[in-house]
């Protein structure tokens, strides 16, 4: 059953009561990004604690009634979501906080939280009878779109900027998608994809435009809440590029609140790199977003023109959260720290939240007695070149036991 009531424009606020899948507001045009709204009263009777206790589908598809999808094909899809929520014992001590969880979304099928949106996109494309699915992305939406399209036998055309890291590029080709590496930045890749999609009538997975991408992304919050027995932490920390992920994080918690399943929405900390921080600047100066350079190693959040500014800014404002930015050196340090303390390997944008939390604690934005969940949004193996910056490269060892002992002594293991 479909519980969608309609779509609300995030600019003009107008509500369109329809079951038809609208992409953007007919009045506001392309900037009129929509929010999907459900019949929450009807859903209250379906999505009960009992429903979740009995539901044995441990993937994001367990939330199908509130994702706006038809359930015909979900059994054929790869398992997306229900990623581990790891209670931290070591990192929490180093940061000096009592209760810290790490949601490891790098363990999704293609290695990032983008799988949550791509899974929905591919289902929607199949529902719409599309022949081809397409998107532009800094790399992860691209590789995840290629991944799930491959699994469902749907051709994909993928646009990426030339800086996309080797792991992500390899994934896209390996999944058999048509890869277009645009000689330019993400802004250029987005523009070309937009033209091609309009010209050829492909299904558009571009995250901001398509309101259903947030419906996938929000499941990360539904999981965090459920994994914590519907008592989410005081704060949830996430890195921000286009702003769809953080928009989804807020929507997920807000809907659980509307359904009476949690009694407050956690405060959301949005984290960017100082090399590309349009949201941080806009929030600080109380001004509209301005285009900026894409100058950070955290390629997944190197987004100079965020495509989902309204949802992202509201996520922080409505949750009484905060914006913060961290330099690339802190991001690199966070990669090593998270690996060493928790055994979790994140890509630069994946661990930006860790660096953001450390800074927020220092600045007193987050207090040490508050509880926190960090979302690690992408797997470190996607970008081994940048990961090398976080380690000391080992020398080659002669096969000689004395030499080995010298090395082991140096390392303090014997």
Ligand X SMILES: *Cc1c(COP(=O)(O)O)cnc(C)c1O
CB of 231 to ligand X, least distance (A): 26
According to the binding rule CB under 6 A, does residue 378 interact with ligand X?
A: yes
For residue 63, what are the CA distances in angstroms to 68, 230, 315?
10, 15, 21
According to the binding rule CB under 5 A, does residue 211 interact with Zn ion?
A: no
The C-alpha atoms of residue 205 and residue 28 are separated, in whole angstroms, by 20
By Cβ distance, which residue is nearest to ligand X? 378
According to the binding rule CB under 6 A, does residue 206 interact with ligand X?
A: no
Which residue number, 134 or 140, has a Cβ lying nearer to ligand X?
140
CB of 8 to ligand X, least distance (A): 20
Span from 47-55, 71-79, 180-188, 238-246 in contact with ligand X (CB under 6 A): 238-246
Span from 13-21, 90-98, 191-199, 300-308 in contact with ligand X (CB under 6 A): 300-308
According to the binding rule CB under 6 A, does residue 309 interact with ligand X?
A: no
Backbone angles phi, psi at 199, to 5 degrees: -65, -40
- Give the closest residue to 387 by CA, choosing from 341, 343, 342, 331: 331
- Give the closest residue to 10 by CA, choosing from 308, 323, 318, 319: 308
Near ligand X in 2-31, by CB under 6 A: none
According to the binding rule CB under 6 A, does residue 266 interact with ligand X?
A: no
Size of the site for ligand X (CB under 6 A): 20
For residue 112, what are the CA distances in angstroms to 50, 108, 145, 152, 393?
30, 6, 11, 19, 26
CB of 412 to ligand X, least distance (A): 34
For residue 32, the partner it binds in Zn ion, ligand X, none, with Cβ less than 5 to 8 A by kind, is Zn ion
According to the binding rule CB under 6 A, does residue 377 interact with ligand X?
A: yes
CB of 31 to ligand X, least distance (A): 17
Near Zn ion in 26-45, by CB under 5 A: 27-28, 32
CB of 182 to ligand X, least distance (A): 17
Cβ–Cβ < 8 Å for 281, 288: no
For residue 171, the partner it binds in ligand X, Zn ion, none, with Cβ less than 5 to 8 A by kind, is none
CA dihedral 183, 385, 213, 104 (to 10 degrees): 180
Place of tokens 């906080």: 97
Span from 25-33, 94-102, 124-132, 347-355 in contact with ligand X (CB under 6 A): 347-355
CB of 246 to ligand X, least distance (A): 6
CA dihedral 105, 106, 112, 113 (to 10 degrees): 0
Query: Where do the DSSP E strands lie in 110-164?
Result: 133-136, 156-161
Which residue number, 33 or 337, has a Cβ lying nearer to Zn ion?
33
CB of 22 to Zn ion, least distance (A): 11
Candidate residues 59, 118, 140, 233; the one interacting with ligand X per rule CB under 6 A: 140
Look at residue 175 and give its three-state secondary structure. Answer: coil
According to the binding rule CB under 6 A, does residue 301 interact with ligand X?
A: yes
Residues in the chain: 414
According to the binding rule CB under 5 A, does residue 23 interact with Zn ion?
A: no
Cβ–Cβ < 8 Å for 33, 10: yes
For residue 301, the partner it binds in ligand X, Zn ion, none, with Cβ less than 5 to 8 A by kind, is ligand X
Which residue number, 78 or 261, has a Cβ lying nearer to ligand X?
78
According to the binding rule CB under 6 A, does residue 169 interact with ligand X?
A: no
CB of 33 to ligand X, least distance (A): 12
According to the binding rule CB under 6 A, does residue 112 interact with ligand X?
A: yes
The C-alpha atoms of residue 9 and residue 242 are separated, in whole angstroms, by 18
User: Which of 101-127 are b and which e, b meaning 16 or more Cβ less than 10 Å from the residue's Cβ?
Assistant: bbbbbbbbbbbbbbbbbbbbbbbbbbe
Q: How many of the other CB atoms lie within 10 Å of CB of 54?
A: 8
- Give the closest residue to 100 by CA, choosing from 109, 111, 113, 87: 87
Token couple for 170: 């390899």
According to the binding rule CB under 6 A, does residue 216 interact with ligand X?
A: no
For residue 188, the partner it binds in ligand X, Zn ion, none, with Cβ less than 5 to 8 A by kind, is none
Binding site for ligand X (CB under 6 A): 112, 114, 140, 207, 239-246, 300-301, 303, 347, 349-350, 377-378
Binding site for Zn ion (CB under 5 A): 9, 11-12, 25, 27-28, 32
């Amino acid at each position: 059953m479909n519980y969608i009531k309609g779509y609300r424009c995030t600019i003009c606020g107008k509500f369109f009561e329809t079951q038809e899948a609208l992409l953007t507001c007919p009045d506001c045009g392309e900037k009129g990004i929509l929010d999907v709204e459900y019949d929450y009263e009807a859903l209250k009777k379906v999505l009960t604690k009992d429903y979740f206790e009995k539901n044995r589908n441990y993937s994001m598809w367990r939330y199908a009634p509130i994702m706006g999808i038809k359930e015909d094909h979900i059994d054929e899809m790869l398992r997306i979501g229900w990623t581990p929520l790891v209670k931290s014992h070591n990192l929490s001590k180093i940061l000096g906080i009592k209760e810290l969880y790490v949601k490891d979304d790098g363990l999704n099928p293609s290695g990032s939280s983008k799988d949550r949106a791509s899974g929905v996109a591919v289902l929607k494309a199949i529902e719409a009878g599309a022949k081809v699915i397409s998107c532009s992305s800094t790399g992860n939406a691209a590789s995840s779109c290629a991944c799930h399209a491959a699994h469902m036998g749907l051709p994909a055309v993928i646009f990426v900027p030339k800086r996309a890291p080797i792991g992500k590029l390899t994934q896209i080709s390996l999944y058999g998608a048509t890869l277009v590496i645009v000689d330019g930045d993400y802004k250029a890749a987005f523009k070309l994809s937009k033209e091609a999609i309009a010209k050829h009538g492909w299904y558009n997975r571009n995250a901001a435009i398509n309101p259903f991408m947030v419906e996938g992304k929000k499941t990360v919050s539904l999981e965090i809440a459920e994994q914590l027995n519907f008592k989410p932490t005081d704060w949830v920390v996430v890195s921000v590029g286009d702003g769809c992920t953080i928009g989804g994080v807020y929507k997920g918690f807000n809907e659980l609140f509307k359904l009476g399943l949690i009694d407050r929405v956690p405060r959301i900390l949005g984290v960017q790199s100082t090399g590309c921080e349009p949201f941080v600047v806009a929030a600080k100066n109380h001004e509209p977003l301005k285009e900026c350079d894409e100058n950070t190693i955290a390629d997944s959040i190197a987004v100079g023109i965020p495509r989902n500014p309204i949802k992202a800014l509201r996520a922080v404002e409505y949750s009484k959260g905060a914006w913060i930015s961290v330099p690339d050196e802190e991001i690199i340090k966070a990669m090593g720290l998270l690996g060493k303390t928790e055994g979790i390997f994140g890509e630069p944008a994946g661990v930006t939240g860790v660096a953001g939390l450390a800074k927020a604690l220092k600045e007193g934005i987050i207090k040490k007695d508050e509880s926190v969940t960090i979302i690690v949004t992408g797997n470190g193996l996607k970008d081994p070149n940048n990961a090398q910056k976080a380690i000391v490269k080992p020398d080659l060892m002669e096969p000689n036991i004395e030499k080995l002992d010298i090395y082991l002594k140096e390392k303090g293991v014997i």
